[in-house]
Structure 1
Amino acid sequence: MEQKLSTSIKQRLSLSARLQQTVKLLQLSTVELRAAIEKEYMENPVLEMDETSMAEEGGVLSETNADELAAVAEYIDGDEFWQGYADDERRTRFEAAAPMAISLEEELLEQAKFTFSAERELEIATFIIGSLDENGYLTVPIKDIAKVLNASEAEVLDVLRGIQSFEPAGVGARNLKECLRIQAQKLEIYEGIVAALIERHLDDVAESRVKQIAKEEGCSPGDVQSAVDLLRGLNPKPGGTYGGAEASYLVPEVRIQKENGEYIVNWNDNYIPRLHISDVYKKALRNGDAETKDYIRKRMYSAKWLLNNIEQRRETILRVVKEIVKRQRAFLDNGPGSLKPMTMSMVAESLGIHESTVSRAVAGKYAQLPKGVFPLRGFFSSHVLGESEQENASAAQAKSALKEFLDSEDPKRPLSDQKLAELLEARDISISRRTVMKYREQMGYASSVKRKRY
């Protein structure tokens, strides 16, 4: 094989490190941006944090709030409570503590310590609790637990019955039927039709076969319906509310307020630390030796890029939000039912930027509206158009109308998907029955058969 050298020219698009930082900062949420700024502040010595900006944050106790707290404290405990404390702590930063996320295992082990006095029972209980899944069900067979612990199945069952008396009710069950039975017994409703539903008709309940259950149990559909309502009040996943990720906080990127009949977009500066370049290092850049100057120059160059990119992020988001407000005035005035069809490409074209820039500008970000916090992505919705393209409704409008129809329907004569499509047509929202079904399921509404009441 002959080997030879050759040259070729290729074009390749690559992003510089600075441009990569610009893109990355734009797509960060407010909380993520704060973390990134604090990390850069700790790593780059030429950056200083503006103390006045931190003092303006919502977590800082203002003079007015301090006075109000002093008055409350004096009312509750007398003046001694506040004296000495106010002088030193008036400017202390108060931060909300995240709620503790206790796991199901920790909760049950705590109860087991008070329930089982014998060491052997506590050992078995600890093993059983450790074998529960995230929903609180025991998925390991009793005989396997007995074999591992060198205990009898009767011993394991006796401890399991103790665990099944713990809170949350239904924990330690081996299947759905046992889980519901435990909860019903605790509520003293495990009798009559409720017991029959749990023991023989769970599949029928899931499919809303009310008439069939009534026929087999020799009672009226209304009695079955009442029992089903009780059954649906039980929790099929008793362990599902424990543990999980730490509590997260939504910090609005912008505030949209109505002033003199017009909506004004204001930047939320309170949560983001303000940085500036240290005067000490500016002087050292003039007076230091060559090696020191070179180090400071590099760090200062990095700091300037960061500050510029933060400001560019701010300007881009403000431009995008102002364009959103301009297009969605009806939504801000009247609510979700008035949300107009708007895509990111429409906003990008108006602003003369790329669609991906709009996507990054709204990703994971929220706006404080007069009626609450709202995700910026929520302002965007696709068109719901038929082949004639005569309609100009958004998916949000269709869902809003569907919710209105479903919430006001006669429960004894629920509306079918076809009927809902006809009602939407009367409002000039033309979508197919299949699309109605998709939206209905997305909103958590069951089919007309399952919604029917007796």
Structure 2
Amino acid sequence: MQQSLVLKQALSWKMNQSLHQSIEILQLSGIELYDYVQKIAEENPLIEDIRPIDQQVLSQFHGETNAFENMNASKKNMYEQLKENVYMLSIPEDTLKQAVFFGIDSLNENGYLDITLEDWAANCQLTIEETEQALSYLQALDPPGIGARNLQECIQLQLKEMDCDYPFLEDLFEHHLVLIAEEDVSALAEKYAITEDEASKLITNMKLCHPNPGKLLEQEETEYIIPEAAVFREDGEWQLSFFNWSSPTIQIRDDILQMDMPKEGADFLKEKKKEVEMLEQAIQYRGKTLEQVLRIIVNKQLSFFEEGLTALKPLTLQDIADTLDLHVSTISRTISHKYLQTDFGILRVKYLLQRETRKGEGIARVVVKQYVHQIIADEDPGHPLSDEKIRMKLEDLYQVYVARRTVMKYREELGILSSSKRKRRTNGSND
């Protein structure tokens, strides 16, 4: 009986060890996986070589033989990463862009704004309204919560990103935060006249909020940005081709296994062989899961590769998990730190997952935000459009049906002033 118990415990430990390794490897990028295997090889005499790179396949997409020349190997701190992402925002004026850079430099290490709007405005020679616009651009950067002036605003910015932007949040933070701490769903629902499902979702999402978003941009090691696979058109068909470093091949020294040696040495090598077998299984699982997930994403987003941003479709981690009958956390780990080589450059896989504007509409939020940006860019500067008129144009031009409040939310996320403030700035510039 005791022997059976010990055997089960040993088997359970082995299974847990194997599962832990599979999970760890699943979330590594190709170059991180190569480094991981290299470290194991240093302590395993059976591993002779690791071959991750096929230069011929690489040159097909990069036009050169040195894979590492296309890597971004520089170590970037929080401030540098945020400044890089500023160029992804549509900021109309250089003075505003410089003000956003100043705001980034005014963040503390936790990502909070360490300067008053008045001092920010004075340093950049802007009005308070212009500075507020610069702040809205800063707070539109990832991760959500960056640029907050206090913990309450930090949490609210993150909840806004999660679609939990309730009008009563300020009152909740100031007077009834104990309801969140005690997870009192019924009392929270009754107090603010929401359903218990909404109250439960709010409590869950608040737990997911990070109190120090700047810490999420810390980089302890050099980060290499290199794609796992390439999406390209060949003979009129879209193809997905994986680079070899995505699934490194391990070569074993069979000659050592065939040598005569004492039992202690033979047992040691036997254990090291099992280590290699577990490692190879974990690598195969990573490769198989990554391929399944990327193929679903690419097939779903083929219109994006054909037409660009406005053709992106709604797609979530849950959609992929349901298709593959896997847990959402597995899909999340699979796409973590993964990139694709495309005609638009190297894209983060996560970018191809977009939430829906409204359930059943079939339109990604990023697409509607692009439409809003285009409508405002085309408006008469002397007669800027109100949020209601933008909503009507969305219906007329793009057959997109959203509420005026949604238009306002997307406009603010784009860092664009309200129509009255845009008109005031236009009139001011004509004086």
TM-score (norm 1): 0.55
1:55-70 aligned at under 5 Å gives the runs: 56=55
Question: 1:331: how far off?
Answer: 1.2
- Offset at 1:179? 4.2
What is the CA distance between 1:17 and its match in structure 2? 0.9
Three-state SS of the structure 1 residue aligned to 2:42 is helix
Aligned positions of 1:52-451 closer than 5 A: 53=52, 56=55, 98=73, 135=105, 176=120, 179-180=123-124, 198=125, 202-203=127-128, 206=131, 248-270=223-245, 273-284=248-259, 287-385=260-358, 389=360, 391-426=361-396, 427-451=398-422
Structure 2 counterpart of 1:47: 47
In the alignment, the residues of structure 1 paired with residue 72 and residue 346 of structure 2 have an alpha-carbon distance, to the nearest angstrom, of 21
CA distance in 2, matches of 1:316, 1:24: 13
Distance of 1:97 and 1:331 partners within structure 2: 25
Shift of 1:352: 3.1
Query: How far apart are the structure 2 equivalents of 1:429 and 1:177?
Result: 37
CA contact (8 A) 1:57 1:270 kept: no
Note the residue ranges of structure 1 that are not aligned, 5 or more in a row: 1-12, 67-90, 105-132, 138-173, 181-197, 209-243
CA 1:313–1:273 in structure 2 vs 1: closer, same or farther (change >3 Å)?
closer
> Does the CA-based 8 Å contact 2:27-2:335 persist in structure 1?
yes
Distance in 2 between residues matched to 1:429 and 1:136, nearest whole Å: 39
In the alignment, the residues of structure 1 paired with residue 318 and residue 49 of structure 2 have an alpha-carbon distance, to the nearest angstrom, of 37
State the Cα distance separating 1:266 from its structure 2 match. Answer: 0.7
The one-letter code of the counterpart of 1:353 is L
CA distance in 2, matches of 1:331, 1:95: 24
Task: Evaluate the alpha carbon distance shift between residue 443 and residue 34 of structure 1 in structure 2; reply closer, same or farther with a 3 A threshold.
Answer: farther
Whole-Å separation in 2 of the counterparts to 1:354 and 1:38: 29
| Unmatched tracts of structure 2, length 5 or more | 1-11, 80-102, 108-117, 134-217
Structure 1 303/100 Cα, relative in aligned 2: closer, same or farther at 3 Å?
closer
Distance 1:264 1:258 in 2: 6
- State which structure, 1 or 2, has the greater radius of gyration over its C-alpha atoms: 1
Q: Distance in 1 between matches of 2:303 and 2:71?
A: 35
3-state SS in 1 of match to 2:226:
coil
378 and 301 in structure 1: CA distance in 2 versus 1, 3 angstrom threshold: same
> Cα distance, 1:416 vs. partner?
1.9
Q: Distance in 1 between matches of 2:354 and 2:71?
A: 35
How does the TM-score come out when normalised to structure 2? 0.58
Contact in 1 for aligned 2:247/2:283 (Cα 8 Å)? no
Taking structure 1 as reference, are residues 17 and 207 closer, same or farther at Cα in structure 2, changes over 3 Å only? Answer: closer
Q: Give the SS at the match of 2:239.
A: strand
Q: How many angstroms does 1:95 deviate by? A: 9.1
Task: For 1:260, give the aligned amino acid.
Answer: D
Q: Deviations over 1:51-108 (max 9, x none)?
A: 6x55839999xxx979xxxxxxxxxxxxxxxxxxxxxxxx9x9797955879x9xxxx
Residues 332, 54 of structure 1: alpha-carbon distance in 2 compared, 3 angstrom cutoff: closer
Deviations 1:223-273 (A, max 9, x none): xxxxxxxxxxxxxxxxxxxxx967643111111111112111111125775
Quickly say closer, same or farther: Cα 1:175–1:446, change in 2 above 3 A.
Answer: closer
In the alignment, the residues of structure 1 paired with residue 104 and residue 308 of structure 2 have an alpha-carbon distance, to the nearest angstrom, of 38
Q: Secondary structure at the match of 1:436?
A: helix
Any conservation in 2 of the 1:27–1:363 contact (CA below 8 Å)?
yes
Which amino acid in structure 2 is aligned with residue 393 of structure 1? I
Q: RMSD of aligned C-alpha atoms? A: 3.8
Matches of 2:422 and 2:17, distance apart in 1:
57
Distance in 2 of aligned mates of 1:383 and 1:176: 36
Aligned to 2:191: none
Letter in 2 for 1:251: I
Displacement, 1:29?
Answer: 2.3
Q: Which residue of 2 aligns with 1:171?
A: none
Q: How much does 1:207 deviate?
A: 6.5
The AA in structure 2 aligned to 1:359 is: S
The one of the two structures with greater contact order (alpha-carbon pairs below 8 A, sep at least 6) is 2
User: Contact conserved, 1:59 with 1:95, CA < 8 A, in 2?
Assistant: no
Counterpart of 1:21 in structure 2 is 21
Residues 409 and 37 from structure 1, CA distance in 2 versus in 1: closer, same or farther, beyond 3 angstroms?
Answer: farther
Deviates more, 1:13-22 or 1:330-339: 13-22
Give 3-state SS (helix, strand or coil) of 2:233's partner: strand
Residue 373 of structure 1 aligns to a residue whose secondary structure is strand
Deviates more, 1:428-437 or 1:350-359: 350-359
Question: Relative to structure 1, is the Cα distance of residues 350 and 378 closer, same or farther in structure 2, using a 3 angstrom cutoff?
Answer: same
Asked whether the equivalents of residues 74 and 223 of structure 2 are also in contact (C-alpha less than 8 Å), the reply is no
Alignment check: 8 A CA contact 1:49 1:273 kept: no
SS at match of 1:393: coil
